Chain A
Amino acid sequence: MSVPNSMRVGPFCASVLVKKRYLFLYIFLIWISILPGLLELWAYWQALWNDVRPLFFYVYLPLLLLAIYITTVIAAIIFTKMVLIVINILHKPKEGVFLRHPSDKDYRYWSLRNTIKKWPTWLSHKFPFPFLDNLCFKVFNVKTTFSNSLFEGWVDTEFISFGKNVVCGQGAIIQSSVIIGNFLIIRKTIIEDNVRIGAHVIVMPGTHIGRNSILNTWSSTMIGQELEEGWIYNGGPAKKFKKNRFFEDIPIEKLSQKVGDYEGLLKKYDEQYVKREVKKRRLLEKNIKPSFHLKDRLHLRKDKDNDDEN
């Protein structure tokens, strides 16, 4: 369990528009969040430095350095949260489809939010334990618990809610916003209790993953896809592979470690892709064109949105 040295950047939003004036705010945050740590060091120096016998100063120095790091992270989180509150009063973050252009207010504020959040998330991700990471998510209004492991992959820092006991695999990407062509799409991603997300899985915005479900490695979901509870999913876009019985209270001996018929397994994996093709062809024969238009996908959860507005 070791993070590759080229992938230790922490939660990250690709292609964020960074403007020069956002950079001023960013540098201001870095500056102000290092100050409390320096204050701590100064107080320590005043209390323990002795020119003749500097022993005590050196004995507790390693612990102080650890404390300074944690203080810096917490200060960064607090100051960023304060700036975020002001920004969210100026413009409330909301879901929807926006134009990816600086003239669009939502896009501008989305990139501003993500630029500001970068510093505390990067800093907390540099700490080898996941506590600070989870704290960071919690403060930025991502619903999560400390038992979740969101440490090894990339997870967006807004419009996501996690249940209890979620495992997010190595190199998995869980998004709530995505850029497609000239559009920015923000949808709320909901992941419920006991979901096991495999390595390298891509979860797109608006996905709703039900309880006790497992995602196989390299599977990916589509915008607004609903995954039912208690199933194992596979492939891109994710499809039902088999019923998930691994959460039941079964004796350990019953689990078979050997894949008996390997050819059969290959067929099982291939069938999913073939079936999709067959279904598509059947629709074409009936003169119904299968549409993959963005508009159709976004209306998948139309009813829910209407309830929220009311």
Chain B
Amino acid sequence: MENDDIDSNINTEESSNESSDDDFSIDFTTSSAISSVGLKFLVLYIPIFWFSGLVVATFWYGYAAGSTFWIIKLLYLPLFLLSLMFLFIFTSFFFCKLLLILINLMCVPKEGIFRIDTKDPNFEFWKLRIELKKIVLWFLRNWPLPWLDVLAFRFFGVKIDFSSHLNDAWVDCEFIEFGNNITVGQGAVLMSSMIVGNFLIIKKITLDDFSLIGGQSTIAPGTHFGKDTVLGAVSVTTLNQRLEDGWIYGGIPARKFKPNKYAEERTSTIHKVDVDEEEKVEVEYDINIDENKRKFLKRGSKE
């Protein structure tokens, strides 16, 4: 039995029945993947599917019944099918948004800690919102242009633009604020809600410009990413953690690793353009800056 001691019996002597503040502090991270969805939610799903299907069917009827020569019809068919898919997704967007507005009138989404209980409206409506949004995101990520899911996020009121991408990660689609040029790694989990025991925690995540999240890392609710912050792969942030500007973080839980020198180079080079030392900048830029950032420099040098 000596071997088993190593694994299991190390912390047993610490067990005590007294309660302290430490017992109730949430210094660990779990998940937000609850799907104890009642069949009642399916009632909302069928009309969305039906109505957006009707719009698509109307367009298809117009195409099939049109009097164009059949070879031309056949030639345009793939393009038409793709646009029908897009049309289907966008009409389902529209009906989802309508339902969401109604639902949000009934119960305003808000941050805080709620009990997991069918009597608590906050918890029930949180589930409902997530299931509604899931349909659209599902369609967008299953069609041939998955990076368009940014459109869905924008439509649902998340601040984000096309300079950042998140189509290879689990991302909650509410209470998240993105800056510009953000990269979210493969398999990362960005949670604005978390389930701890019998409680649901909802807290906003904010990501500032040029922040980078490594693959398979987990972001807890309430995390703030500063400008130029890098979080390494396989790292976890705790609840309400603030990551400072221009640092590289890593580990479980995330801790400071080293200052982000790569970001300094970028900012300093662009800074020199403003000073108008044109020749120096050209040399500098050849070494440091990649192709897609050329436009920043050119704009600066013209001025």
Tell me if A's interface is mostly helix, strand, loop or mixed.
Answer: loop
Pair B36/A283 contact, Cβ less than 8 Å: no
* Interface set, chain B 85-141, CB cutoff 8 A to A: 113-115, 130-131, 133-135, 137-138, 141
Give Cα distance in the complex from A223 to B192, angstroms: 33
Pair A242/B23 contact, Cβ less than 8 Å: yes
Q: Does A47 contact B (CB under 8 A)?
A: no
Q: Contacts A62-B50, A196-B195, A196-B196 known; A290 to B30 CB distance under 8 Å?
A: no
Q: Contacts A266-B253, A279-B6 known; A218 to B234 CB distance under 8 Å?
A: yes
Pair A5/B146 contact, Cβ less than 8 Å: yes
Give Cα distance in the complex from A62 to B84, angstroms: 13
Q: Does B31 contact A (CB under 8 A)?
A: yes
Q: Which stretch from A97-105, A179-187, A232-240 is at the chain B interface?
A: A232-240
Q: Does B172 contact A (CB under 8 A)?
A: yes
Q: Contacts A7-B187, A199-B29, A246-B199 known; A1 to B172 CB distance under 8 Å?
A: yes
Pair A196/B134 contact, Cβ less than 8 Å: no
Pair A54/B199 contact, Cβ less than 8 Å: no
* Interface set, chain A 257-278, CB cutoff 8 A to B: 257-260, 265-266, 268-269, 272, 275-276
Q: Which stretch from B39-47, B71-79, B261-269, B287-295 is at the chain A interface?
A: B39-47
Interface residues on A, range: 35 or more
Query: How distant is A207 from chain B, measured CB to nearest CB, in Å?
Result: 12
Q: Does B68 contact A (CB under 8 A)?
A: no
Query: How distant is B237 from chain A, measured CB to nearest CB, in Å?
Result: 10
Give Cα distance in the complex from A254 to B19, angstroms: 11
Pair B113/A255 contact, Cβ less than 8 Å: yes
Q: Which stretch from B54-62, B206-214, B224-232, B271-279 is at the chain A interface?
A: B54-62
Q: Does B67 contact A (CB under 8 A)?
A: no
Pair B2/A290 contact, Cβ less than 8 Å: yes
A250 contacts which chain B residues (CB < 8 A)? 24
| Shortest Cβ distance from B51 into A: residue | A62
Q: Does A73 contact B (CB under 8 A)?
A: no
B197 contacts which chain A residues (CB < 8 A)? 196, 212, 214, 244-247
